Amino acid sequence: MKILIAYAGKTGGCASMAALLAECLPRHEITVADLAVTAPSPSDFDYVVLGGAIRMGKLYPAARQYLKQHEAALAACPHTLFLCCAFAEQFENYLEMVFPASVLESAEDAMYFGGELTPAKHRGLDRWLVKLIRNSILESEEDDAALPGLLPEHVRLLAERLKQK
């Protein structure tokens, strides 16, 4: 099967999850596309895995542009959506906010790949905000408070589902 794994993100989390997914599917013809660099047509593939990082409640601009340009083609082809974000409890809300209804409703699956709060990967105001959020979590009095992280096990789960197609 010819699969497109397309993503947009800034700090490398989406790129690492996309690379891991490609590694988990060695028997398929995989194209991994950073949408800030290249935007392959979904109609050239048998299956599309599309997603990106959430920042300030929005999908990265390259992914938004790709969705705008290819919405009809995406809705017409088999696809899975994914998001990388630090707040798992917001995943469902983000899906509805960032993906057009036609693409979301026609998706075979929607996956949460986790997210990181790593100040060193940011600059300026972004770094300050990430530090603030990170410190807020670390100083929380909740017993189960933990920093979010990427979830490679979710990527492997998606890979297993794709292998059965």
Q: What is the pLDDT of residues 19-47, one digit of tens each?
A: 999 999 999 999 999 999 999 999 999 99
DSSP 8-state symbol, 51: E
Structure confidence at residue 116 (pLDDT): 74
CA 159 to chain centre: 14
Q: Which range marks the domain in which residue 12 is found?
A: 2-115+150-163
How many domains would you assign to the chain?
Answer: 2
The rounded distance, in Å, linking the Cα atoms of 32 and 113 is 16
Give the type of residue at 105.
E
The rounded distance, in Å, linking the Cα atoms of 13 and 116 is 7
pTM score, whole prediction: 0.87
Q: Are residues 125 and 83 in the same domain?
A: no
